[in-house]
Amino acid sequence: MSVDTPPSASPDSAPPSPSPGTAHLTPTRRDVEVDLPETTTYRLKNRFLGPPLHTEELAHERLGKPTALAVFASDNLSSSAYATEEILRVLIVAVGAAAFGLVVPLTLAMLVVLGVLILSYRQTIKAYPSAGGAYIVTRDNFGLMPAQVAGVALLTDYILTVAVSVAAGTAALVSAAPSLGPWTVEISVGFILLITFGNLRGVKESGKLFGVPTYFFILMMGVLITTGVYKMATGSLPQVTQYGPGVVPFGTDAVVMSVAIISLLLHAFASGGAAVTGVEAISNGVPAFKPPEWKNARETLVVMGTALGVMFLGLSILAAHLHVAPYIEGFPTVISQIGVLTFGDTGFGNVMHLLLDGATMMILVLAANTSFADFPRLASFHAGDNFMPRQLTKRGHRLVFSNGIIALAVSAIVLVIVTGAKVDKLIPLYAIGVFTSFTLSQAGMARHHTRLKEQGWRVGLAINATGAVMTAVITVVIGTTKFMHGAWVIIILVPVMVLLLMRLNKQYESEIEELAEDAPKAAEAPIMRRHVVLVFVENLDMASARAIQYARTLMPDELRAVHFDLDPIRTEDLTDAWREMGLGRLSLDIVEVPDRRIEATAAEIVARELVAGDTEVTVLLPRREYTRRWHRLLHDRTADKLAATLATLPHCNVTVVPYHLGTSGGAKLVTPIAKTKTKAKSRAKGKAPGSAPRPTELSDDDRLADGQVPIAGTGHRDRVTIAGRVQAMRVQPRSGVATLECTVADATGTMTVVFLGRRELPGLHTGRNIVATGVVGDHHGRLAMLNPSIELLSELEHELPPTGH
């Protein structure tokens, strides 16, 4: 993609005549860097999470369909392992053995709901390829308030997904190793910490970590169902006739179509609703797919729904035939019992049963990864709209929303501890949140179709309207049938959390409004007539001397040093040293502090300067910076207290002037020679210097192709072609001269590229790789290329910002 400059600014036009001394101008070198000392926290992150990823690598963290299925679909697929059991847990208590005749019809009814949801979210993904979760869809079609309801419902559901998944995974583990029963809570917490660690390492890392267990579970389920159906067809599949201790109590066998039985069936149906949780995960994570994102996401959604339907129905059919029943303690699980009966008690059968339990445990535990992929992203959407703390929008060490991941882990651990890691205590809280979000999302899509009337909107409207009505009915069913079993917690919690988010939003909006009010006028307001600089000194040491030296560079109308007289001996020593120092007209004011309230006395001194209303006061506070944290305990933080007090006074500007004690406490400028020594030392230790390299840096081959030259090799009046990355851009106010300046960098140096008469160029932004051809001239004392012709290289596929637009 090439960009032409305006005719009035032809690239062939000669640059302005060089001013005297331009012959010595050279491009800025890139090998002069700031060597920052590494903190303990940073070193720990590098050790446990790996080197930091640069923002440019976000494009390379995209997922292909196989990996995306493992990352986003594990929650949905794993629910087949316990959905049948939850249906039976309700039915057996009420109708006894008749439950085995009802489980398959209820499963089929739930699969109808699943099919409608899959069709509905295919519409959503295509309409919202930037991320089509319930929050985004509801916000765009109904506004921010309903969106908070959808978002909070989903956030609570994601927390519950983690708790349910790890609790069910632990139950699968205990089914294979009953001796671990007393440690279910501790094991569940350990699983959450493991998944948190995997996700903090990055999207690709988590995909690799969770990919194998997902496909292993699918394989084992395929083997189980195929074997079971074959034995059913041949009449060799046994049936349970006697039950051991610990099985849920059987109710009466009579099935009467009464109001009570209808309510019971609805209750069982609501318990099975856990099977369709996780459907939205793919639509909420569309930006994480490789291009074309929406197409790959839709195909993955269909694969996920098909796999879930086959596994859920297959297990229900086998459970109905085998007459397996859940246990009160939750283990052995129904799927584990089906494995024992289907594979038999031979040596090979025992191995297959253990493999099935292992696969079930892994998929259930790693199903929590779906929440870890979507919860931080959804929280960032809320935070981007000022409804949650801004920290949730920040990407961390490995380009993931680290704060959101940690918040999810902490919430899930608390929930697991409170419920004792019991699945049956968590399930009643589980489905109502996700079905609420389903309803709002599908209703939002129906309004989207009627509002935009895009091609095929009638078909989309029929699908999404059907989905909205169906999920709304199920939401009511779940809310009523499970209200006394724990659903009341979510029904109360969601509106309370929405109110809290609205309060937080009000605070953020008031801050924005106050900061934005008359900002341009304030910036252009006339400056004060006088400028007074006060340097607060305690001793005549290097810290105070550095502050005084800086004060002299400000060239104020009046400059004074101020000392607070708290210790007569120290004050006398300071005054004697001051007289001998020879700073000319720089005076030292000794101020009495009879009540030892330094902050109040300092405020009075500044106030006397400000009272006339025509003075700007700058207070410089020398502050010692220490190399070790414990060193700070040996000294008070008077400078911080003074800064906090004085900053409240209008037109009083407080500047802390740091002095780093010790040679390793501060950053250092690394010269080319020093940098070479650093690299040699790093090679001697077998380590690469610095942090991870920038992956999108143009290679030497790219940079030197087609007559291109390194930036460091250019000179004044040379006509050259350079290639590099736009490292910085300078924005000019509308009232100023129309000029667009950007800094282009390659591995050898940087050069300013200037477009006269332009304020912006389409597609030109920081982070973009460009090729520029033109004549090198002088711009404000530096080599620059004026009005070149440029070519914009291929745009990297960056993830869209967390605004949903």
pLDDT digits (tens, 9 = 90+) for 16-51: 444 554 545 665 554 455 555 555 665 665 555 555
- Please tell me the total number of residues recorded for the chain in this structure: 805
Last residue of a domain, one of 420, 449, 467: 420
- State pLDDT tens for residues 166-195: 888 888 888 888 888 888 899 999 989 888
Write the CATH number for 726: 2.40.50.140
Phi and psi at 349, nearest 5°, equal -65, -40
Whether residues 620 and 702 fall in one domain = no
- Asked which of 399, 420, 441 is the last residue of a domain, the reply is 420
* Sign of the alpha-carbon dihedral angle for 792, 796, 802, 805: positive
pLDDT at 355: 92
Q: Are residues 622 and 740 in the same domain?
A: no
Counting residues of the chain whose pLDDT is more than 90, the rounded percentage is 8
> The whole model's pTM is what?
0.63
**557 is in which domain, residue-wise?**
528-660
Domain check: are 597 and 643 in the same one?
Answer: yes
Structural domain contains residue 406: yes
Same domain, 25 and 68: no
Both structure tokens of 608:
């006397």
Q: Which residue has the tokens 């959604």?
A: 301
Give the per-residue pLDDT at 121.
Answer: 87
Same domain, 396 and 330: yes
683 in a structural domain:
no
Per-residue pLDDT reduced to its tens digit, 561-598: 888 888 888 888 888 777 777 665 677 888 887 777 88
Q: How far is CA 179 from the centre of its chain?
A: 39
Tell whether the model's pLDDT for residue 678 goes beyond 50.
Answer: no
Q: How far is 252 from 257, CA to CA, in rounded Å?
A: 14
Residues 722 and 614 in one domain: no
Q: What share of the chain is helix, strand, coil (3-state, %, to 5)?
A: 60, 15, 30
Please state whether the peptide bond connecting residue 213 to the residue before it is cis, i.e. omega within 30 degrees of 0: no
Residue 88 lies in a domain: yes
DSSP-assigned states of every residue in 334-374: HHHHHHHHHH-SSHHHHHHHHHHHHHHHHHHHHHHHHHHHH
Residue 700 — pLDDT band, cuts 50, 70, 90?
A: very low
Residues 129, 294: contact at Cβ < 8 Å?
yes
Domain CATH code at residue 74: 1.20.1740.10
Return the closest-CA partner of residue 113 out of 437, 466, 430, 458.
466
Evaluate whether 415 touches 199 at the Cβ level (below 8 Å).
Answer: no
CA distance 582 to 258: 103
- Beta-bridge partner residues of 782: 779
C-alpha 463/C-alpha 480 separation (Å) is 26
pLDDT digits (tens, 9 = 90+) for 606-628: 888 888 888 889 999 888 776 66
Phi, psi of 624 (to 5 degrees): -80, 135
Q: Quick one: average pLDDT of 226-244?
A: 87
Please indicate, yes or no, whether residues 192 and 326 belong to a single structural domain of this protein. Answer: yes
CA 617 to chain centre: 41
- Cα separation, 231 vs 247, whole angstroms: 25
Question: Is 176 part of a structural domain of the chain?
Answer: yes
Closest CA to 431 of 328, 280, 262: 280
Q: How confident is the model at residue 310 (pLDDT cuts 50, 70, 90)?
A: very high
> Residue with structure tokens 């998929």?
363
Specify if 133 maps to a domain. yes
| pLDDT interval class at 668 (50, 70, 90) | low
State residue 59's pLDDT score.
47
Task: Report if residue 740 sits inside a domain.
Answer: yes
**Is residue 539 a part of any domain in this protein?**
yes
Provide the number of structural domains found in the chain. Answer: 3
- Looking at the fold, whether 651 and 711 belong to one and the same domain comes out as no
Helices and strands: H and E segment counts in the chain: 25, 15
The most confident of 1-5, 386-390, 548-552, by mean pLDDT = 548-552
Facing residues of 789 across strands?
A: 773
Rounded distance, CA 152 to CA 161, Å?
A: 14
Mean predicted lDDT score pLDDT of the chain:
76
Question: Of residues 215 and 706, which shows the higher confidence score?
Answer: 215
Does residue 679 belong to any structural domain of this protein? no
